[in-house]
Chain A
């Protein structure tokens, strides 16, 4: 076990999911999900396609509605109350597979938009914060370009910076590297590793097992809408308990 994985997990609960169920129409996507995430934890979620990984993390910031059970984020119960949803969304940052930058705004405007309109930060201060985080993801010189002029890896790093500008306490990642060419994956993973080292609470859906080994302190395996197995990365990879996990790992690590 390396030193990053050992650091800064407190016993303060960041996310608490109890008995959560979700249906799309009659299709039961998520079944009886129980999950407690502590502040500072880095969790990697993996599993076969269609197993409900995206749906799970999208429920956490209410991009999807759940029908049963409870989700509590930073002590705020996620209900249909719009106030609570807004509170949670401004606490939780999210990065998407396809970046979802705003193509009609410059990189800088992408990063300052939410702080200015949601947090009511003065423009100047918001721009300073944005430049700070753009430097952190190593693309301050692109600030005045438009997203369409950047490479995929750069765009994803901008997306991370954009979320960070809201100073979230929790970050969700939904396959942030799977739309990228191999040579760009590393630059995005490096950014995420740096973030993890600073103690950010992170939930990542990813199939980058190297990343999972290096930074995660828990790996969750999902299948058919259920959490099948969760464990520390070493245990998880070397000693998977369920048969489905073994099969999945043999497929994904086999080549």
Chain B
């Protein structure tokens, strides 16, 4: 049969036909565009309109950036060069970036200190943000606030060390007394810490220059550094306070419950800017004049109060979303309130609350620019005040505000990307 095959069949193909490409318009760019951009008269109009808007923006902004002027000393020289070509005057950023970042009174020889603190910040938050890093790194996170204080404010190293010591002593006192009762532990811890600070206070007074960095006063802090200090400190303080408030609001003890409710509702009913004015003017009356509670500290207290009330409400939403069965299962296994809260309730409630918390954190970080209203020279305060009112750079609005926007955008976008990553990571199947 097989040898007759060649004779009976007129034609035998010896090669395979190569697969033909699908006809144009079925795949690729054309198909995609037809389906997504021109699928109907309305979509076509919208597409064309969109293209036109993007085109106008690019045509408008491109010469501004491309013809931007660097390396001149003031706005007049700048305007001479850019005459007619619409270029930006980026020289202002080149000239004043140090002021924009650190404020105009932070000694320039010490810029390395906040910069170093900024770099270390990443090391300190890493184990908090990425749970798979070794837990030992948390020790550095614990030390970081004191280290950063020492770097940024300077003075003798004894101050942060004794402050840390007070916390450590308080912690151990708590661990010892906690076995009797939680209240005893708390009270003992506070007492132990206060005594430690009081005693070591003499040490600090005796050796005020021991291993000291040049001191920088709070009123000399400024620029983006000030926004970063306020943002980091307030977010990290308001998260635990917010959790405590949210739990307090659910408490069965009426007094605790009402204190939390009143605090939250009061703070939420007041604009942040009023609280900042209170911090600036009124709060000073509550303390004896010689204590002269630092303005930054007062502002931190106010912003923290403000954001912790919001975070408390976000977390309360997360708590309310948990089915009652979770509490009951924890109870029926014999877990006590603290264990159930820490191991079962909070991890789930926080997970649900991540988008809300990030929302508050990002909003809070941007709201730190409000301190410019009470004449602190943060990034916005620097631009509005010293830079725009200098004879050299009066009138360079766009470049400066664009610079400020980019700085804030980078940080906020980073936070938001992190939170989305975290949400995906914590996804453990449907509930």
Contacts and interface: CB of A to CB of B under 8 A. Distances in A.
Interface of A: 61-63, 82, 86, 89-90, 92-94, 96, 98, 100-104, 113-114, 117-118, 146-149, 162-163, 166
Given A89-B334, A114-B335, A146 B329 contact: no
A101 B323 CA distance: 11
Interface stretch (B100-108, B114-122, B300-308, B422-430): B422-430
Interface string B326-353: 1011011111100100011001100100
Given A86-B334, A86-B336, A148 B431 contact: yes
Contact of A102 (B334, B336, B344): B344
A139 B183 CA distance: 44
Interface of B: 323, 325-326, 328-329, 331-336, 339, 343-344, 347-348, 351, 426, 428-431
Contacts of B430: 148
A114 B428 contact: no
A149 B429 contact: yes
B334 A118 contact: yes
A151 B329 CA distance: 19
Contacts of A118: 333-335, 339
B334 A90 contact: yes
Contact of B426 (A61, A102, A104, A147): A104
Contact of A146 (B333, B348, B351, B429): B429
Nearest to B328: A63
A117 B335 CA distance: 7
12 contacts: A63-B332, A86-B334, A93-B332, A94-B332, A100-B323, A100-B325, A102-B344, A104-B347, A113-B335, A114-B333, A117-B335, A162-B333
A82 B343 CA distance: 20
Nearest to B326: A100
B428 A63 contact: no
Contacts of A92: 332
- Chain A CB within 10 Å, residue with most, of B323, B329, B339: B329
B329 A166 contact: no
A89 B332 contact: yes
Contacts of A102: 326, 329, 344, 348
Contacts of B335: 113-114, 117-118
Nearest to B324: A100
Contacts of B333: 89-90, 113-114, 118, 162-163, 166
A166 B347 CA distance: 23
Given A82-B336, A104-B348, 12 more contacts: A63-B331, A86-B334, A86-B336, A89-B333, A89-B334, A100-B329, A102-B326, A103-B348, A114-B333, A118-B335, A148-B430, A163-B333
A168 to B, nearest CB: 10
A118 B336 CA distance: 8
Contacts of A62: 331
A85 B323 CA distance: 22
B133 to A, nearest CB: 20
Given A96-B329, A98-B325, A113-B343, A104 B428 contact: yes
A15 to B, nearest CB: 15
A86 B339 CA distance: 13
Contacts of A113: 333, 335, 343
B329 A148 contact: no
A90 B332 CA distance: 8
B252 to A, nearest CB: 12
Contact of A147 (B323, B328, B336, B429): B429
A117 B328 contact: no
Nearest to A64: B328
B429 A103 contact: yes
B346 to A, nearest CB: 10
Contacts of B329: 96, 100-102
Nearest to A92: B332
Contacts of B343: 113, 117
A98 B333 CA distance: 16
A105 B52 CA distance: 52
A163 B329 CA distance: 10
Contacts of A148: 428-431
Nearest to A115: B333
Contact of A96 (B328, B429, B431): B328
Contacts of A63: 328, 331-332
A90 B323 CA distance: 22
A113 to B, nearest CB: 6
A57 B401 CA distance: 66
Contacts of B336: 82, 86
